Amino acid sequence: MPLPQLLAVAVSLAALPAAVQAAQKTPYERAMRPYIAELNRQRPGRRLENLTPGDFELIMEGFEEGLTPAVRHQIEAAIGEGCVRTEAGLTCGNVATIGVFRRQKVLPAFVHEVCATTWKCDAMYRCVQAQP
């Protein structure tokens, strides 16, 4: 095999693990990546990506009250379309809502509201809310 072709094959094989790893991300991980990145940008260390789906939804509901009726309708539609055939419970709705927040460019404002809470987590679903 000529050297240029051999180098091309070697480069392709070297990139394969990264491509396989990226493909192995779950839909949840792909959807939540922008939220987690914004959390880490605004307030690293509180590990608020570990809130329970229920606590996360409560924060979302409070934030949604300040959105326009059109955006709230988009959230309802995204949840209806994305979650009608799934048994993911609150997580599905949370992911659909994060998608609308991202598309409407209100994700940074939502993350600011999450960070303004008194929640702090040390592991998945192991979170405490300090009393004000």
**How confident is the model over 82-129, as pLDDT tens digits?**
888 777 788 999 999 999 999 999 999 999 999 999 999 999 999 999
**3: in domain:** no
Judge whether 12 lies within some domain. Answer: no
Q: Is residue 10 part of a domain?
A: no
19 domain-assigned: no
Nearest to 110 by CA among 60, 76, 71, 68: 60
pLDDT in tens, 6-40: 455 555 556 655 554 555 588 789 989 999 999 99
Helix axis angle for 90-103 and 27-42, nearest 10°, is 60
Please, which residues bridge with residue 120 across strands? 128
Q: Model-level pTM greater than 0.85?
A: no
Residue 7 falls within a domain, yes or no? Answer: no
Q: In terms of residue numbers, what domain contains 113? A: 24-129
How remote is the C-alpha of 24 from its chain's centroid? 16
Amino acid at position 126, single letter: R
Count of domains observed in the chain: 1
Report if residue 32 sits inside a domain: yes
Beta strands in the chain (DSSP E): 119-123, 126-129
In a domain, 31, yes or no: yes
**Residue 74: inside a domain:** yes
